[in-house]
Structure 1
Amino acid sequence: MERQKSTKKNSTHGSRLLVFFISIAFTLFSTGCGNEKGKPSTEKKLRIGLMITPRGLDDKGFNDLAYAGIKSAERKFGIDPVLIEPSTMSDPEASLRFFTQQNFDAIIAVGTAFYKAIKTISKERPNLPFFVIDSSMEEGNVRGISFREDEGSFLCGFLAAKMSKTKKIGFVGGIKNETILRFFNGYYNGAMEAASDTMVVSHYVSETFSGFNDPETARKIATQLYNEGSDVIFHAAGASGLGVISAAGDAKKLVIGVDMNQDSMAPGLVLTSMLKKVDQVVEDVVKTLSEGKKPTFVKRSYGMVDNAIDLTDFQFSRQQIGDELISKLGSLRKEILEGRLQTSKAQPNPRPEKTTASGTLE
Structure 2
Amino acid sequence: MKKVYSLSLIMVLALSVFLAACGNKSDSTNNASNGTSGSGGSSDVKIGMVTDVGGVNDKSFNQSAWEALQQVQKDGGASVKYLQSKSDQDYIPNLNQFVKDNYSLTWGIGFNLADAIKTVGEQNPKANLAIIDSVVDLPNVKSITFAENEGSFLVGVIAGKMTKSNKIGFVGGEKSPLIQRFEAGFKAGIQAVNPNAQLMVNYAGAFDKPDVGKSAAATLYNDGVDIIFHAAGATGNGVFSEAQSRVNSGQQVWVIGVDKDQSLIYGDKVTLTSMIKRVDTAVEKVSKEVIDGTFKGGVETLGLKDDGVGVADTSSKNVPADVLKLVDEYKEKIIKGEVKVPDTVQ
Letter in 1 for 2:69: I
Match in the other structure for 1:124 = 123
Alpha-carbon RMSD across the aligned residues, in angstroms, is 2.2
- Larger deviation: 302-311 or 261-270? 261-270
Mapping 1:17-96, distance limit 5 Å: 25-30=34-39, 45-76=44-75, 78-96=77-95
Letter in 1 for 2:84: E
Give, in whole Å, the separation in 2 of the partners of 1:114 and 1:25: 21
Asked if structure 2 preserves the Cα contact closer than 8 Å seen for 1:270 and 1:317, the reply is no
Structure in which a larger fraction of residues adopt helix: 2
Mapping 1:270-349, distance limit 5 Å: 270-295=271-296, 297-314=297-314, 317-318=317-318, 321-348=319-346
Structure in which a larger fraction of residues adopt strand: 1
Partner deviation per Cα, 1:24-44 (whole Å, 9 max, x = no partner)? 9441543566xxxxxxxxxx6
SS at match of 1:90: helix
Cα distance change, pair 105–158 in 1 and its aligned pair in 2 (3 A): same
Give, in whole Å, the separation in 2 of the partners of 1:334 and 1:167: 26
Give, in whole Å, the separation in 1 of the partners of 2:115 and 2:145: 17
Runs of at least 4 residues off by over 6 Å:
none
Question: How far 1:315 moved relative to its partner?
Answer: 5.2
TM-score (norm 1): 0.80
Asked if structure 1 preserves the Cα contact closer than 8 Å seen for 2:98 and 2:106, the reply is no
Between Structure 1 and Structure 2, how many residues are aligned?
Answer: 312
Question: How far 1:87 moved relative to its partner?
Answer: 4.1
- Give percent identity, aligned residues only: 31
SS at match of 2:224: coil
- Larger deviation: 216-225 or 264-273? 264-273
Residue ranges of structure 2 left out of the alignment (5+ in a row)? 1-28, 248-252
SS at match of 1:86: coil
Give, in whole Å, the separation in 2 of the partners of 1:133 and 1:345: 18
Asked if structure 1 preserves the Cα contact closer than 8 Å seen for 2:41 and 2:74, the reply is no
Give, in whole Å, the separation in 2 of the partners of 1:29 and 1:88: 26
Asked if structure 2 preserves the Cα contact closer than 8 Å seen for 1:226 and 1:251, the reply is no
Residue ranges of structure 1 left out of the alignment (5+ in a row)? 4-23, 34-43, 349-362
Partner deviation per Cα, 1:239-262 (whole Å, 9 max, x = no partner)? 111111111122331110011111
Question: How far 1:347 moved relative to its partner?
Answer: 2.9
Letter in 1 for 2:220: L
Match in the other structure for 1:189 = 188
SS at match of 2:84: strand
Cα distance change, pair 75–289 in 1 and its aligned pair in 2 (3 A): same
Question: How far 1:143 moved relative to its partner?
Answer: 2.2
Mapping 1:134-145, distance limit 5 Å: 134-145=133-144
Mapping 1:255-266, distance limit 5 Å: 255-264=255-264, 265-266=266-267
SS at match of 2:185: helix
Question: How far 1:52 moved relative to its partner?
Answer: 2.0
Question: How far 1:179 moved relative to its partner?
Answer: 1.3
- Larger deviation: 120-129 or 86-95? 86-95
Asked if structure 2 preserves the Cα contact closer than 8 Å seen for 1:50 and 1:109, the reply is yes
State whether structure 2 residue 233 is matched by structure 1 residue 235: no
